[in-house]
Amino acid sequence: MLTGLSVGAWLLPGPRRVGQVTFDVNTLLYCAIAVLLGFQSITFAIFSKMFAILEGLHPAAPLLDRFLHFVSLEFGLLAGSILSIAGLGVSVYAVSVWKAHGFGPLDYSQTLHMVIPAALCLTLGVQTIFASFFRSILGMRRR
């Protein structure tokens, strides 16, 4: 996830050349996928650990408890909403750029530098909201 974020941020301004190799939107797309897969892996690990602790299959983890105390349902909803709104905002901007070009053909290298991060933010935002609800459900005690 961190590698995807780092390389993706490096590629945001435009194509980058390292020696004879040029990295552009194709690499940016794979960076976005790495971020998504990393996020899903992290949430799966947290949820699995929570479940194992709650079912008595694993001893309590103080570090996880502190993390979960900080990352509440409200925090997750706020973070997910901010990501979603940012993604939506950039998407609206991308459509306005397309409109300015008469809804005709665009230079994909230019537009995908906006659209890929926008789609990533939208997806991460919605996943964060759902993950927050699921984390909250996992934390409920049975009667």
Q: Please give the chain's pLDDT, 143 residues, in tens.
A: 999 999 999 999 999 999 999 999 999 999 999 999 999 999 999 999 999 998 889 998 888 888 888 889 999 999 999 999 999 999 999 999 999 999 999 888 889 999 999 999 999 999 999 999 999 998 887 65
Residue 130 lies in a domain: yes
Residue 143 in any domain: the answer is no
Full domain range(s) for residue 64: 2-138
Tokens representing 5 are 């974020």
pTM of the model: 0.89
Number of domains in the chain: 1
Residue 116 in any domain: the answer is: yes
Structure tokens at 75: 């925090």
Q: Cα separations (Å) of 79 from 36, 90, 127?
A: 15, 17, 11
Compute the distance between CA of residue 11 and CA of residue 5 in angstroms, rounded to an integer. Answer: 10
* Residue 57, both tokens: 């299959």
Structure tokens at 17: 């050349």
